Structure 1
């Protein structure tokens, strides 16, 4: 590559403010844009290795706060103020309104049911019977495979391996727990070690591809709805009819009817989520707290459930079967992201489940608010008032 088109880099230290300045000057020379505001930041660039390459500056995004949100979880307990990074007007106000409904109804109960992270290699044989025999051998040698995988990590634990035969291939899906980390890189390394052990020890050897794409990394899949990738977390509460009427101006019976219509529409469309908008709250909270934003595509899928009670109150629940989040690793240690995690009390060991409960509770608040706004007719008017740059 010609030197005049190569992005400037330093072999000694590529994360200094001087190198960022040099690259902005390079971009200005090539595009005419000086990137002046992008180059204004307060963080120490020494914290960036492992999070970015060819650093030129900071993309500043507004962060608002919604709440209070009362959570009666196993790990998240109390009233929380939720940081949401977004450029969509009305979003923070809407989530705050839903949180008020939850809080005045006594709070949302949150439960992490299970949690796994996967890597799914594919093994290739000469025919289907060989692939089937290999699958049986894997079952018989699980303990040795587990030991090989866990030799790469002090945190990750291999729990079980799902298997499928297709033609002359055998797909394996390794399921790990990963502590407070999301764990994609952790389980990739562990599975590589396990596959190499299999290759050395399986009679006649075994050829494999480390990912046969059944891990569905950064992609939604129905498989993840059934076999959780990340954390399967449920947020549920019974909303009092008086609270919903007073705050939202909506009757619980009308909300129940509207939810049936919405369920049918989502079914016809083949939507990954049948509630109003799980991705909004997840994306905003993910960006604010340094999560891998691409995981929104897996994390937002789920089920919104309702049941009208005999006394007119309404039971509502959000089930997120593949919420991929972390309180350790990735962008969670960056300065502003760490501040947002800290305001949630989610910094330190053993806080990943707490954070997952907060995310699910936030999604439910947003669904209550938007669902009621559509019924009450103030969905468009709210966006017109708060969501337009005039």
Structure 2
């Protein structure tokens, strides 16, 4: 039988209860029959599959990622205060060691100060009219009816609160960027449902009964965008520290003056290429923490965006800050309640309601630790040698 006429082999599903060990085992056997691959390690897991509805479909097993521990990192934040040990899930050698070194530097310099400055989650419907004037007048109507729109949106959620609606005009289109606070959830699904309810109220109430599309793509879900850098998506959180020159020399082998000179070069390079981040590698630490703690890892596309700002102080010390403009994290819902992910959040004291700002501050502190370590390694000339030592597992 030719490949074109071969019948499609359907992945096994149990219509009564698909979240059992038996259902997962049936899919692993299906894989063996179809591909010849045996899934001994994929099938080794410790939790009950009954906890997985809402997290995954066609559950077959687990993809185990090595977990390392870095720290302690001393954080002096509004919400995160104390010394924290950081769980990091990664298969990249050198990463945990590098972040661990940066955490030691920050801690020995008195710790890292952290602040959540602003937080919004968006959905951005676009309303479609015959001409620009009608679209502009619709925008005025939206402003005048904000309280009623807010009430309609919030009928769908006890947590999400509509804060404001941004408006953007293109030809006969009116893009509306609904901005919500979402408590301890990342909130993308929450704000989609709320915005749908608001848009349906607008259609019923506005005299023109306008057409709309629920997302006009200026919320830029799981994509980096300059609007998020400027106006915030998720949490805008700042980590800052004063690096003491003598401690930097002792631990990293470079001076604060060396770092300041390098910052000018890095700044120019990032500007030249239009980088979403003028720092070193925020995505490394964030991804390792996201995997460990059950975050939606695709949000790294937005969450890694950051701006570094630094000063060489008169006494020779070095002020170093990094602002994460679009950090999307949660401590409740999604993947945070899964077995190992909850344990990793427990390490940080961050599982459950009321902990999202604390977790965001820890994330920002970890990013700053990684910036200090990698930047110093590049300057000191041990960037490549450290990867040779810790990051090679091939002959």
> 2:330 & 2:231 partners in 1: Cα distance?
19
Match of 2:328 in 1: 324
Provide the secondary structure at the position in 1 that maps to 2:335: helix
> 2:314 & 2:150 partners in 1: Cα distance?
50
> 1:305 & 1:260 partners in 2: Cα distance?
11
Provide the secondary structure at the position in 2 that maps to 1:71: strand
Match of 1:261 in 2: 265
> 1:141 & 1:237 partners in 2: Cα distance?
44
Match of 2:143 in 1: 139
Note if 1:91 corresponds to 2:95: yes
Provide the secondary structure at the position in 1 that maps to 2:163: strand
Stretches of structure 1 lacking an aligned partner (at least 5 in a row) = none
> 2:108 & 2:393 partners in 1: Cα distance?
33
Judging changes above 3 Å, is the alpha-carbon distance between structure 1 residues 138 and 2 closer, same or farther for their aligned structure 2 residues? farther
Match of 1:170 in 2: 174
Offset at 1:337?
Answer: 0.2
Q: Could you report, residue by residue, the CA deviation over 1:15-68 in whole angstroms, capped at 9, with x for unpaired residues?
A: 111111111111111111011110111111111111010111010010000001
> 2:7 & 2:348 partners in 1: Cα distance?
47
Match of 2:381 in 1: 377
Match of 2:134 in 1: 130
> 2:294 & 2:352 partners in 1: Cα distance?
15
> 1:213 & 1:177 partners in 2: Cα distance?
19
> 1:242 & 1:189 partners in 2: Cα distance?
54
Note if 1:148 corresponds to 2:152: yes
Match of 1:244 in 2: 248
Offset at 1:3?
Answer: 7.2
- What is the 5 A alignment of 1:58-97? 58-97=62-101
Match of 1:284 in 2: 288
Match of 1:57 in 2: 61
| Aligned positions, number | 390
- What is the 5 A alignment of 1:190-201? 190-201=194-205
Q: Could you report, residue by residue, the CA deviation over 1:202-259 in whole angstroms, capped at 9, with x for unpaired residues?
A: 0121110000000000000000001100000000010000110000011100000011
Match of 1:235 in 2: 239
Note if 1:368 corresponds to 2:372: yes
Offset at 1:2?
Answer: 8.5
> 2:121 & 2:253 partners in 1: Cα distance?
42
Match of 1:358 in 2: 362
TM-score norm. by structure 1 comes to: 0.99
Offset at 1:306?
Answer: 1.0
> 2:6 & 2:331 partners in 1: Cα distance?
42
Note if 1:346 corresponds to 2:358: no
> 1:348 & 1:247 partners in 2: Cα distance?
36
* Aligned-residue CA RMSD (Å): 1.0
Structure 1 stretches of 4+ with a deviation exceeding 6 A read: none
Offset at 1:348?
Answer: 2.5
Judging changes above 3 Å, is the alpha-carbon distance between structure 1 residues 173 and 35 closer, same or farther for their aligned structure 2 residues? same
Provide the secondary structure at the position in 2 that maps to 1:38: coil
Provide the secondary structure at the position in 2 that maps to 1:329: coil
> 1:348 & 1:6 partners in 2: Cα distance?
38
